[in-house]
Structure 1
Amino acid sequence: MPGCFKKTLFALASAMSFVSFILIVVAMGTQKWITGKILCKTGADLVNATDPELVKFTGDIYYGLFRGGKVRQCGLGGRRSKFTLFPHLVKKLNTGLHVMIIIFLCVAISFALISFGFCILNIIQVPYRAIKGPAGICLWNLLAGGFTALAVASFIAAVKLHHLTERIANFQEIFQFLVLEEQYEGSFWLCVASATAHGVNLLLIALSAIRFPEFKTKTEEANVTAEDIMY
């Protein structure tokens, strides 16, 4: 029973590691990390637009790690455009920080796959002490979850401290745009879910280290008599 319990926990941990890997890949591939509302300040100032009229000067923006799009509203209707962050737009941003986010996520993908492999090895009981046991799985989950958390924290810093949305909105624009609101979207929360999955894995591995008492059936002592010896 204890062996089956541990194998079940390792199977769940391997599934969580694989799910974490998928979540990061999907998050990097989709481009809805941030959505927001942008105001064409220059156009609104030119016509002295009041609050009811500001709707005509309010557009939308969305972007991810590699590309995005926006709708410019400067009083003459919306104009849609798409952009890519590499190779030109990234030069206007905090290049080092943005590249670090991508590197952190790539490293997290590698460690998530390694954690998945270690879980499989523990399920089939590969007889190598350097591999067998929960310590290796905990290590790789800590690294994978840590790098994912670093990527999430770096992205938040880029948005809040380095005004990432405002820089993107004003890239190659004659008019000035202000960010009215911005919110994190599905791709961002996928990375948060990936880091959470590794935290759940640590809990599962901790449970696998619990030793359950083994119940053994008591064998009846044989009563040897003189008659048994004679016969």
Structure 2
Amino acid sequence: MPSYFKWAVFASIAVLSFASFILILVAMSTQKWMTGKILCKTGAELVNATDPELVKFMGEIYYGLFGGGKIRQCGLGGRRSKFTIFPHLVKKLNTALHVAIILFLCMAFSFALVSLAFCIFNIIKVPYRAIKGPAGIALWNVLAGGFAVLGVTSFMAAVKLHNLTERIANFQENVFQFVILEEQYEDSFWLCVASATIHGVNLLLVAISTIHFPKRKTKTEEANVAAEDIMY
């Protein structure tokens, strides 16, 4: 029973590690990390717009790690546009922080794959001491979860401390100035949060796999022991 239990735990960790890899990959490939409402401040000030009229100057914006789009409302109807972060827009942002976010997430899904590989090695009992047992699996899950947390917190820092949404909204805007009315984290951001949570669950499963269950002796074993005792 203990061996089957440990096999089931390692298999569960492998499935969760693969799920974490997929979640981060999907999150990085989508453009819905953040959405928000933007106000065309310049247009509203030109016509002295009051509260009911401000609706005509409110647009929307969404973006991810590599691109996004916005709807500009400057009193002339909505105008849609799309943009890419690289190679031009990133120069207007905190370049080091934005690149660090991407690198952190790349490291996170890389270590998630390593954790998956270690689980498979332990399931098939590859005889390498360096990768056998729960210690190696725990190590790689700590690294994967840690880098996922770093990526998420760095993105939050870019949004809150470095006005990421406002900088993106005003990219290549020479005439109009936009201010941010609302910001909301979207599904792609929460996928990375879920990925970090998965590695926390994996660490709990690793701890459970170290539990030693007492072995039950069969009657045959008891009989053999008794016979040997008689002989000696």
TM-score, length-scaled by structure 2: 0.94
Matches within 5 A, 1:103-142: 103-142=103-142
Aligned counterparts of 2:204 and 2:125: Cα–Cα separation in 1: 20
Give the 3-state SS of the residue equivalent to 1:109 in structure 2. helix
Q: Please name the residue that 2:230 is paired with.
A: none
Give the 3-state SS of the residue equivalent to 1:36 in structure 2. strand
Aligned counterparts of 2:112 and 2:130: Cα–Cα separation in 1: 19
Q: Please name the residue that 2:17 is paired with.
A: 17
- Gap regions ≥5 residues in structure 2: 228-232
Q: Please name the residue that 1:183 is paired with.
A: 184
Q: Please name the residue that 2:193 is paired with.
A: 192
Aligned counterparts of 1:204 and 1:124: Cα–Cα separation in 2: 18
Shift of 1:122: 0.6
Give the 3-state SS of the residue equivalent to 2:217 in structure 1. coil
Aligned counterparts of 1:34 and 1:120: Cα–Cα separation in 2: 36
Aligned counterparts of 1:182 and 1:60: Cα–Cα separation in 2: 10
Aligned counterparts of 2:203 and 2:32: Cα–Cα separation in 1: 29
Aligned counterparts of 2:208 and 2:121: Cα–Cα separation in 1: 18
Aligned counterparts of 1:45 and 1:76: Cα–Cα separation in 2: 14
Aligned counterparts of 1:110 and 1:44: Cα–Cα separation in 2: 48
Deviates more, 1:125-134 or 1:69-78: 125-134
Aligned counterparts of 1:105 and 1:159: Cα–Cα separation in 2: 17
Aligned counterparts of 1:30 and 1:168: Cα–Cα separation in 2: 17
Aligned counterparts of 1:131 and 1:28: Cα–Cα separation in 2: 29
Shift of 1:131: 1.1
1:83 corresponds to 2:93: no
Aligned counterparts of 2:71 and 2:218: Cα–Cα separation in 1: 75
What do residues 138-192 of structure 1 show as CA deviations (whole Å, max 9, x unaligned)?
A: 0000000000100000000000000000000001112110000000001000000
Q: Please name the residue that 1:102 is paired with.
A: 102
Give the 3-state SS of the residue equivalent to 2:215 in structure 1. coil
Q: Which runs of 4+ in 1 moved over 6 A?
A: none
Choose 1 or 2 for highest CA Rg.
1
Aligned identity (percent) is: 77
Q: Please name the residue that 2:30 is paired with.
A: 30
Aligned counterparts of 2:109 and 2:203: Cα–Cα separation in 1: 17
Aligned counterparts of 2:218 and 2:15: Cα–Cα separation in 1: 36
Give the 3-state SS of the residue equivalent to 1:179 in structure 2. strand
Shift of 1:217: 2.8
Shift of 1:127: 1.3
Give the 3-state SS of the residue equivalent to 1:86 in structure 2. coil
Q: Please name the residue that 2:6 is paired with.
A: 6
